[in-house]
Amino acid sequence: MNKKKLVVIGGDAAGMSGASQVKRLKPEWEVVVLEKTDFISYAACGMPYYLEGLVPEKEQLIELTPEDAVSKRKIDLRLRHEVTKIFPEDNKVAIKTEQGEYEESFDFLLIATGSLPLIPRAGYQQSEQVFVLKNLSDMEKIDTFIKENSPGKCAVIGGGYIGLEMAEAFRGRGLETHLIHRRTDLSKTFEVEISNLIKEEMANNGVVLNLETTIEAITDEGEGVTVITDKGKLNYDFVFLGLGTVPASKLAGECGIELGIKGSIKVNEYLQTNYPNIYAAGDCAETMHLLSKEPVYTPLALKANKEGLLAGMNMAGLQKPFRGVLGTAITKCFSLGVARTGLTYGEAVKHNFNPVKIPLNSQSRAKYYPDSAKLFSLIIADKGTGLILGAQLAGPLDAVKRIDVYVTAIQHKMTLDDIFDLDLAYAPPFSPVYDPVLLAARVGRKFI
Amino acid sequence: MNKKKLVVIGGDAAGMSGASQVKRLKPEWEVVVLEKTDFISYAACGMPYYLEGLVPEKEQLIELTPEDAVSKRKIDLRLRHEVTKIFPEDNKVAIKTEQGEYEESFDFLLIATGSLPLIPRAGYQQSEQVFVLKNLSDMEKIDTFIKENSPGKCAVIGGGYIGLEMAEAFRGRGLETHLIHRRTDLSKTFEVEISNLIKEEMANNGVVLNLETTIEAITDEGEGVTVITDKGKLNYDFVFLGLGTVPASKLAGECGIELGIKGSIKVNEYLQTNYPNIYAAGDCAETMHLLSKEPVYTPLALKANKEGLLAGMNMAGLQKPFRGVLGTAITKCFSLGVARTGLTYGEAVKHNFNPVKIPLNSQSRAKYYPDSAKLFSLIIADKGTGLILGAQLAGPLDAVKRIDVYVTAIQHKMTLDDIFDLDLAYAPPFSPVYDPVLLAARVGRKFI
């Protein structure tokens, strides 16, 4: 009998991708998805834009409804089912529901428990006016709070992607918005030149930047929230914590599943944990950086979706590796698009390359064409070999998706000369004759 | 004595790129550029947009003024100097000017004579109301004609890039515009699915399409222009001929320089003709298709600029090959962006591949994000190997520059699986979680 049973813990991107893929390849298998909340498959990355007011209905953020998961994909989906224990040797899990507890056996287990907002241990008082944004219920809390209390002034703590996106969202809602960040520069994944352009764009759009500001405590004394910093007390109507995420791997770790970097679940390239029939995928799982060849923790949507899909394929008997990530990311900061991939200069040094930084100001379109705007590129290349190690772009929103050319080039070990030889597309509404990617390669040869 | 003398015939993209590059690498060399018109280095691709009214001043189309060529780049630029003969064995050229004729010797010669509008031999009467668009003087003639005569109705003959761009320009000037094309489908470089989307966009923007219409003659009988076709006589206030270009290689061919495909000048990958000290670059020169490995005639701006640059480097003693083209092109048709690269399905069959067509409708952004729109992709891949052979896109203007990812992939022999493994950038304002490029690779695996 070839009929197997897959149990999936977690019904978001990775979990539902894996479950759906297994049902597609092995319709006869039993696939049980255990999700502790009421939500599955929602577009977490869209939540800041809903809060900004750009997405009219929150239902638009639902990628797949529970009803469709059951009726169309034939998945045995169980909402409000929390897995409390994994028994890897016995191939079963313990489950808690409102009705009581029970156990479920499995042939394959997919752990897709995602991530949790990072909340520093000390001094951050739980408060109705201190928010995080991990799921749709968090999003609704923020939305309701703004609607019901008409706050005037808020703080976003943290200068990473979520911090930038939420600062923009709150400005979009008409709030006085402060960004508090402990260093001068924003997220370390950006080179300082890019960080400066982001700070300029935020300031131009009315975000007050409280940089080099360390938070000692957050207290709620009745009237708003007080943020106690090394530079004094600051008072806000509410505070948003955008300090990043940590893998939701406690359950796995406690049950004998090996953890790796930053506490994420260790997996091989087939997404298998230390138990070959137990897989992990998405924000809870570690992966490999394609250039540094070191394990990294990268809680991003594309990785989660791909890993879920590939874990599903592998459980169904195909041999499809997930090769890893390059650390690609893109975001919108008001009218500025920012994108990055590969190693930073500092990371390249750390990994024994001999990097040079190649900065370039170019135009996004032919200079005479309407709305041609400044595009700043920063390429990290290896001196001597000319190998491209990283790239960061800041410019108009329609110009920065060309980061994908660098992604393709870096994953396939191309040099500046290889880039220059590319027959990239040109017409005045889309780029200068020498696309900025070609121009950077041309200019860059002088640095090598 | 290491001081050499370079003579360049033609002062546009390829010629001035070559001349400038040689002066940069070898400032002590004498560099003479002989240009028969009054213009150098103008943005030919920008001319339709000037005529549409999107570029306010024609001076914006000048990339380099004659004054700057002389004073800043130290080039001995001679306008209204027409080369009438090349003596390859004697290393000299004969030149005609308004003042008379003379000869100029050279150590190196760069032929950068460009291209000429294709005008069918028979039945196309010379007329003041029949226009082509090759240089700034042609552009001014059209602009002046429209301003002075307020025409109501015009015809564009030819459904290639220039035809599409000029039809849009004339609509932008408020004219009733007919596009006459001899086949049902537009330019053969587009697959029929893409051609259909372009035709739809043109029709939606008021361009009248006269397809499957063969022109027998064009006559000028006083009142406007009459186009005599196999379907009857059509009358217009003026006619624009957008039938493509032919290499301006007559001079070279007559003087013993070997010609290749479609009469373009035969060159090796270092841009040398059959005489090693005589180079050719740009629209007059043939090149190689990177996939088919066959010679092609590709009169496009990026090729001209790169070839000029590389010819300059090679004359100055570097060994920098121009590897060839992939047939990449991109254009705007009203609100539709269209891009293509690599082989068409038909070309792939001809070159002994076993191609499959992979069509995909996807979204340009996360589906809930404002202005997310339909992007159509058509991938040509090799059955069995999964090698990407070609790609064509049609969709919103800000979505189709991702053709460059395909360019990079095809030039480096990637398969659909390689594409799927790319860590491409995602955020809701820029793409769905699975960028259309990844999604096409994912869907495409079923076809292989």
pLDDT for B243-286, tens place per residue? 999 999 999 999 999 999 999 999 999 999 999 999 999 999 99
Q: Do B330 and A430 touch (CB under 8 A)?
A: yes
How far is B108 from B3, CA to CA, in rounded Å?
12
Q: What is the mean pLDDT of chain A?
A: 96
Q: pLDDT tens digits for B59-98?
A: 999 999 999 999 999 999 999 999 999 999 999 999 999 9
- pLDDT of res. B223: 82
Q: What is the mean pLDDT of chain B?
A: 96
Tell me which H or E stretch contains B341. Answer: strand B336-342
| Domain ranges for chain B | 5-116+246-315, 119-243, 335-447
Nearest CA in chain A to B49: A369
Are B124 and B239 within 8 A, CB to CB? no
Domains B5-116+246-315 and B335-447 agree in fold? yes
Q: Any idea which residues of A carry the catalytic annotation?
A: 45
Q: Do A404 and B405 touch (CB under 8 A)?
A: yes
Q: Could you tell me the CA-to-CA distances from B214 to B97, B131, B179, B211, B228 in Å, in that order? A: 41, 19, 12, 9, 9
Burial of B92 (0-12, 13-18, 19+ CB in 10 A): middle
pLDDT over threshold 90, residue A126: no
- The CATH homologous superfamily for domain B5-116+246-315 is FAD/NAD(P)-binding domain (3.50.50.60)
Lowest model confidence (mean pLDDT) among A442-446, B23-27, B87-91:
A442-446
- pLDDT of res. B125: 65
**Which among A328, A435, A387, A391 is positioned nearest to A193, based on CA atoms?**
A391
Handedness of CA A103, A108, A112, A113 (dihedral sign): positive
Q: Do B418 and A412 touch (CB under 8 A)?
A: yes
Q: Do A430 and B329 touch (CB under 8 A)?
A: no
Whole-number percent of chain B with pLDDT over 90: 94
Residues in chain A with CB shorter than 8 Å from the CB of B162 are none
Residues in chain B with CB shorter than 8 Å from the CB of A305 are 433-434
pLDDT over threshold 60, residue B1: no
Residues in chain A with CB shorter than 8 Å from the CB of B424 are 302, 328, 404, 407
Architecture, CATH, for domain A119-243: 3-Layer(bba) Sandwich (3.50)
Residues in chain A with CB shorter than 8 Å from the CB of B433 are 13, 43, 45, 301-302, 305
pLDDT band at B126 (very low <50, low <70, confident <90, very high): confident
Q: pLDDT tens digits for B43-55?
A: 999 999 999 999 9
**Which three-class secondary structure state does DSSP give residue A259?**
strand
Architecture, CATH, for domain B335-447: 3-Layer(bba) Sandwich (3.50)
Residue of A330, A423, A437 with shortest CB distance to B427: A330
Q: Do B332 and A427 touch (CB under 8 A)?
A: yes
Nearest CA in chain B to A342: B423
Tell me which H or E stretch contains B228. Answer: strand B225-229
pLDDT band at A403 (very low <50, low <70, confident <90, very high): very high
pLDDT over threshold 60, residue B307: yes
* Site from A328, A401, A406 to mutate, B interface, most B CB atoms within 10 angstroms: A401
Q: Do B404 and A400 touch (CB under 8 A)?
A: no
Give me B397's structure tokens: 């203007």
Residues in chain B with CB shorter than 8 Å from the CB of A328 are 423-425
Q: pLDDT tens digits for B387-442?
A: 999 999 999 999 999 999 999 999 999 999 999 999 999 999 999 999 999 999 99
Q: What does the pLDDT average to over B105-123?
A: 90
- pLDDT of res. B343: 98
**Which among B403, B390, B396, B387 is positioned nearest to B437, based on CA atoms?**
B403
pLDDT over threshold 70, residue B199: yes
Q: Do B329 and A427 touch (CB under 8 A)?
A: yes
Residue of B54, B404, B423 with shortest CB distance to A370: B54
**Which among B351, B428, B19 is positioned nearest to A165, based on CA atoms?**
B428
ipTM over 0.95: yes
Q: pLDDT tens digits for B333-382?
A: 999 999 999 999 999 999 999 999 999 999 999 999 999 999 999 999 99
- pLDDT of res. A93: 98
The CA distance from B435 to the nearest CA of chain A, in Å, is 9
**Which among B391, B408, B339, B386 is positioned nearest to A407, based on CA atoms?**
B408
- pLDDT of res. A127: 81
How far is A59 from A36, CA to CA, in rounded Å?
19
Q: What does the pLDDT average to over A385-393?
A: 98
Q: Do B433 and A305 touch (CB under 8 A)?
A: yes
pLDDT over threshold 70, residue A125: no
pLDDT band at A220 (very low <50, low <70, confident <90, very high): confident
Nearest CA in chain B to A414: B412
Tell me which H or E stretch contains A410. Answer: helix A403-411
Angle between helices A192-204 and A161-172 (to 10 degrees): 10
The CA distance from B346 to the nearest CA of chain A, in Å, is 21
Are B401 and A432 within 8 A, CB to CB? no
Q: Could you tell me the CA-to-CA distances from B297 to B344, B403, B411, B423 in Å, in that order? A: 16, 21, 19, 35
